[in-house]
A and B are shown apart, each in its own frame.
Chain A
Amino acid sequence: MYSIHLCSNNTDLKVPLFTEHIAAGFPSPASEYEEKELDFNELLVKRRAATYCLRVSGDSMKGAGILPGDILVVDRSVHPADGDIVVASLDGEFTVKRLVRTLRTAVLRAENPDYKDINVGEDRDFLIFGVVTGVVRTMRRGSV
């Protein structure tokens, strides 16, 4: 049932959660060593605000272990360096390639012999969207 009352301010009471049980038996010898469970976000996402997920279509990066249907974890806060795998926009399309950078030039290199290197000259509309920091793949049909 509800009871109605006016609150001038909303407070909330935190009830501590005691993980240490008071049990009539022997305490678990492992209880002092209990740790936080593994969290995939911790592993894959360094900066939440800067991280986006993109779905791979195409096999140009199969040599790097990036397959069609994979989910790329892309971190925009990372500064792209030579050798990084990046998502870039090139002439109005997203592409995922390895960035090969020398002093003067930048090349987008596929990891598949069927694809040629792309020279990113000044004549092309080119922007790096972000650096690929992870790949997520599930192994059974029906999952994302």
Chain B
Amino acid sequence: MIGLVDCNSFYASCEKLFRPDLYRRPVVVLSNNDGCIVAMSPEAKALGIRRGVPYFQVRSDLQLYDAAVFSSNYALYQSISNRVMDLLEELFPCVEVYSIDEAFVHLPDAGAEAGAAVQQAKKEVDRCVGIPVSIGVGRTKTLAKIANRYAKLSGCFVLHPEMEQEALQSIPVADVWGIGPRKGRFLLRRGIRTAWDLRGASEYWIKKHLTIVTLRTLWELQGKPSVADEVPCSPKKGILSSQGFSSEITRLEDMRQVIAFYAEKTAAKLSAQGSSAGFVTVHIRTHRFKEQKQYVNSMTIRLDPPSRYPPDIIAAAQRGLDRIYREGFAYAKAGVYLTGIDLPESRQLNLFCREDPRKAAVEQAVSDIHGRYGRRSIHTLGSGGTHQWAMRQNLLSPRYTTRWEELPQV
């Protein structure tokens, strides 16, 4: 069986963790530019606040009900997320981190044992990290996602095979993982209204009118695992910086800037642990769940000798991008992944290529300036001066778990 662990109202729960004054108050978190509501605590949901609503529309309501409003504090959310995932890795043999607040866990046992295992895991995460989670269990990832909807009520829910019909009949087809509103409307017009209808649809017809993605969803609903593992097998051996974009990117120029930005971020992480990378992988993709021309590609460039010098990593990433970039697609996600990471002690010197001592001097100077004036105070030219994705964060909470100066007070 497969379990989906989902942190309840994750961003809002993180904001509450060190603010006991907010334990019973409505809390909302805003999107990157303080534009829309992206997360609501249960109290905020009860006020009828919906995800995706522009902040200005509900501002006065929120004030009226004494709600606390926050900008997205990614440093905090990532730190708390790491704790949740670390704990899950202690509890389950195999954990696939799916997003900042979701992970699939593989359960060796079925039936009652699976139920007990997830109950126990839920309690542990709630108690140790302080973040409430719900866990849905099913025969496949898609069924685990559906089980998770029921788990929202009780904390844990195991969707046993004999219960699947009843459960699937009550799930609108558009709510099935990977279907979405557009495909949902298309299916609805053909009389496929629920997850159960989709499960019994003709494979031939689905393949003809939709993509292989939808066919896989159908198999998953039938209990046949068909969605491949998303994550690179051992994320700890590599450093990844990757994100979906708020608006799709259609120009190489823009993409080069994005890639430089991510490359610089990975280089900073590398530098922080004093390692060098031997390989830079660049990855781009279109929106997987949209019915449009799809393109996915990645390329790995070797760094010889291994390096952690940002310009080396940016240059390699951009070179890889130039090779795989194709015009005419709307890109929704990109990332830079570093592998072949060595530890400083085990570094082998390349006999024929001496390291340029000026690189170390530049690295030191940049790191000093960052330490004193903040992460983006100076940066490489390629990663851009003004970003469309540069954030407005007027309501930011402290980075409670990652900065000594910002620890919660007691």
Interface residues of A (CB under 8 A from B): 1-7, 10, 12-17, 47-50, 52-57, 71-72, 76-77, 87, 89-90, 92-96, 125, 127, 129, 144
Contacts and interface: CB of A to CB of B under 8 A. Distances in A.
B410 A50 contact: no
Contacts of B394: none
Contacts of B86: 48-49
Given A12-B278, A50-B87, A94 B348 contact: no
B410 A94 contact: yes
Contact of B300 (A6, A53, A94): A6
A2 B279 contact: no
Interface in B291-308: 299-304
Interface stretch (B249-257, B336-344, B365-373): B336-344
Interface in B95-146: 127-130
Given A10-B300, A12-B278, A17-B345, A55 B90 contact: no
Interface stretch (B163-171, B265-273, B315-323): B315-323
B342 A94 contact: no
B408 A94 contact: yes
A56 B410 contact: yes
B23 A92 contact: yes
B327 interface: no
B128 A2 contact: no
Contacts of B87: 49-50
A54 B17 CA distance: 12
Interface of B: 18, 20-21, 23-24, 83-84, 86-87, 90, 127-130, 232, 237-238, 278-279, 281, 299-304, 315-316, 319-320, 323, 337, 339-343, 345-346, 348, 353, 400-401, 404-405, 407-410
Q: Nearest 6 CB-CB pairs, A to B? A: A89-B20, A50-B128, A92-B21, A144-B404, A55-B407, A7-B300
Given A10-B340, A17-B346, A50-B87, A94 B302 contact: no
Contacts of B339: 10, 12
Instruction: Name the residue in B18, B278, B281, B408 with the highest tally of chain A Cβ atoms < 10 Å from its Cβ.
Output: B408
Contact of A4 (B84, B90, B301): B301
Contact of B410 (A4, A48, A49, A54): A54
Contacts of B299: 6
24 contacts: A1-B353, A2-B301, A2-B315, A2-B316, A4-B301, A5-B300, A6-B300, A12-B341, A17-B346, A50-B87, A53-B401, A54-B18, A55-B407, A56-B409, A71-B407, A77-B128, A87-B410, A89-B20, A92-B21, A92-B23, A94-B18, A125-B24, A127-B20, A144-B404
B302 A2 contact: yes
Given A4-B319, A48-B83, A76-B129, A10 B238 contact: yes
B129 A89 contact: no
Contact of A89 (B23, B300, B301): B23
A55 B409 contact: yes
A92 B20 contact: yes
Contacts of A94: 18, 20, 408-410
B237 A12 contact: yes
Contacts of A144: 404-405
Contacts of B20: 89-90, 92-94, 127, 129
A76 B410 CA distance: 15
A5 B127 CA distance: 48
Contacts of B130: 76, 129
A89 B281 CA distance: 46
A127 B22 CA distance: 13
Contacts of B320: 4
B292 to A, nearest CB: 27
B128 A54 contact: no
A50 B84 CA distance: 9
Contacts of A72: 410
Nearest to A18: B346
